[in-house]
């Protein structure tokens, strides 16, 4: 459409506005999908670390606890139950460390900040179409074309 806005009919203006709004919504959804997939990847890593903590905690207790507890009890000349208590505490501490590391990754997952910023800018523009959009956000939108 090479006509000036003054020469376009109301129907043409509505069609252009509808097309532009549709494109805008599509681009915002694309940006949100990109950001959310990045956050989900981070959450997946955190969940993997938590799974690793459980795996290490269970299997370490099963395969090494008996031998270590018996060895400590015999070497330190203490009751067998005390040897098992010492080893159980050590493995529990290791599993707790992995759990803390995993939770640290999961807690860092946040909302899609760039999408929120661009949507707020779009709402501002929709309320006041004469206000130019933030030029910094144009780069974000262009990168998701």
Q: Contact, 46 vs 102, CB < 8 A?
A: yes
Q: Contact, 5 vs 119, CB < 8 A?
A: no
- How does pLDDT run across 4-56, given as a tens digit for each residue? 666 778 888 888 888 888 888 888 888 888 889 888 998 999 999 999 999 98
Rounded to two decimals, what is the model's pTM?
A: 0.42
Q: What values do phi and psi take at 15, rounded to 5?
A: -65, -45
pLDDT of 97 above 60: yes
DSSP the chain: --S-GGGS-HHHHHHHHHHHHHHHHHHHHHHHHHHHHHHHHHHHHHHHHHHHHHHHHHHHHHHHHHHHHHHHHHHHT--HHHHHHHHHHHHHHHHHHHHHHHHHHHHT----HHHHHHHHHHHHHHH-TTSPPPHHHHHHHHTT-
- How does pLDDT run across 108-145, given as a tens digit for each residue? 888 888 888 888 888 887 777 766 666 666 666 666 55
Residues 62 and 68: their CA atoms lie apart, in Å, by 11
Where do the domains of the chain lie? 8-142
């Amino acid at each position: 459409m090479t006509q000036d806005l003054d020469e376009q009919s109301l129907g043409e203006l509505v069609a252009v506005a509808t097309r532009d709004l549709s494109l805008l919504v599509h681009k915002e959804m694309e940006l949100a999908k990109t950001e959310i997939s990045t956050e989900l990847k981070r959450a997946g890593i955190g969940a993997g670390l938590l799974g690793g903590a459980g795996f290490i905690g269970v299997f370490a207790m099963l395969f090494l606890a008996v031998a270590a507890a018996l060895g400590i009890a015999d070497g330190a000349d203490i009751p067998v139950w005390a040897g098992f208590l010492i080893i159980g505490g050590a493995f529990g501490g290791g599993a707790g460390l992995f759990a803390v590391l995993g939770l640290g990754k999961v807690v860092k997952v946040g909302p899609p900040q760039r999408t929120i910023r661009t949507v707020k800018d779009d709402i501002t523009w929709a309320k006041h179409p004469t206000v130019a959009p933030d030029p910094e956000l144009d780069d974000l939108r262009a990168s998701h074309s």
